[in-house]
Amino acid sequence: MLFNTIDFVLFLPLVIILYYMIPHKYRWIMLLVASYYFYMSWKVEYVFLIVLSTLIDYISGIQMAKLPDKKSRRPWLILSLLTNLGLLFAFKYFNFVGANVNLLFQNFNIFHEVPLMNVLLPVGISFYTFQTLSYSIDVYYGKQKAEKHLGYFALYVSFFPQLVAGPIERFSRLTPQLKEKHNFSYANLANGLRLILYGLFIKMVIADNLSGIVDQVYTAPEKFASSDILTALIFYSFQIYSDFYGYSVIAIGSALIMGIHIMDNFKTPYLAKNISEFWQRWHISLSTWFRDYLYFPLGGNRVAKQRWILNILAVFIISGFWHGANWTFIIWGSLFGVIYLIEYLINKSFSLSKEYKAYSFGHLFLALKTFVLVTLIWVFFRSQSFNEAIDMFALLFNVNRVTEATLVIPLSTWIFLIVFVVSDILLYNTRFDTWIGRFPMLFRWTMYSILIFSIIAFAGVENFPFIYFQF
């Protein structure tokens, strides 16, 4: 099993101590060993998938750099694409496609069955394959020089803070920092620890406590009243946000202590005024990846209007499919694409592109609208099947049902959720380490003490894995 939150907190100090103890020229070896160990703590044999992706893309990059034009480089790019997307398909999508083909055969009375594989989905495979693919594509287009040092390239692919759930970093941003000599910095230590503490709080106190409540309703929604279902839907919006945001903040803080800056993956997405802005603030590394490596190559907005609409829908549908091999994820992505287009048309037709001042009535009204839409779309993300999602909506709007259970929510859960919402408002367009660093020492240490006490006293009693580990 991959490290849980506590295991990671114990693992990190040892890595950081060794990082600053050993000479700079050997640090990449230590970080690479630590990264592979971190991944192998889940399942040893699956580390070979990372090694395979690393070797193929390293060799492809070296060979493409020797060739003068894109045409001659293309076979090596195809090798990289086939290897990485092939591994992703085999482990994540083969059974989904096979099951749907079998269903199609049954409907046409074709007596043949595609055999399905009984394998675990390698944790984080969607993240590290996209990370290494971005390197191969950039080398192919001549935007990136090929890396000749296999060790540093392997470290880029497997750097442990963001290995299993992002952010998806670009080679040009991360690798120069891995090569640079970083001396110990108190500022980096302080800011990194602040981020880790805040990330642990929103994961262990917010997300984990909401998780049990959400699971309770989704397990047997017919037992609960419409108001309880609505509460669970709202709670899930904050659960998935605090869970994924918490991991990203911990990853950023962990790297920062070593002097390495990885990108912010979230910027108060629930304060976005529309779906377009939401995706500029939610899972930023993924949305920018699809922008640069799918949307722009398709022509972006420099094509006919009908083609542009197809480009938008393609990006959102594929983004949904990236998240999981289930029709619910495809529907989830499609809904975002359709609402994006509807908002675009309304905005263009009625000239609603006005920029509202932060926290103004117009901003808050539009943010609430966006939150409601996103919360409803999350139902497909959380549900195991299309029918389960439709049943959830039917129960939500059937207010006259006789129910046999009542959702019991501890007062502490409400209090911490309110605290989280307020903190998100305070952190609009900033980050926790920057925000708290502006205050006097007495206030800072009071806040640290409250966060530490909250983690010790109110952390969820169960070990809930990070939601995005499954992707």
Between CA 328 and CA 311 the distance in angstroms is 21
**CA distances to 205, 314, 414, 454, 458 from 238, in Å:** 12, 27, 12, 18, 17
Please calculate the CA angle 470-334-355 and round it to the nearest 5 degrees.
Answer: 105
Q: Could you write out the DSSP letters of every residue in 44-84?
A: GGGHHHHHHHHHHHHHHHHHHHTSSSHHHHHHHHHHHHHHH
One-letter amino acid at 383 equals: S
The number of C-alpha atoms within 13 Å of 216 and in the hemisphere containing its C-beta is 18
Stretch (H or E) spanning 240: helix 226-257
**CA distances to 89, 91, 105, 341 from 116, in Å:** 13, 11, 15, 37
Q: Could you write out the DSSP letters of every residue in 241-296?
A: HHHHHHHHHHHHHHHHHTT-------S-GGG-SSHHHHHHHSSHHHHHHHIIIIIT
Between CA 317 and CA 319 the distance in angstroms is 5
Intra-chain end-to-end CA distance of the chain, in Å:
15
Between CA 467 and CA 374 the distance in angstroms is 17
Pick the closest to residue 144 from 311, 280, 28, 292 (CA basis): 292
Residues with catalytic roles: 323
Between CA 292 and CA 298 the distance in angstroms is 10
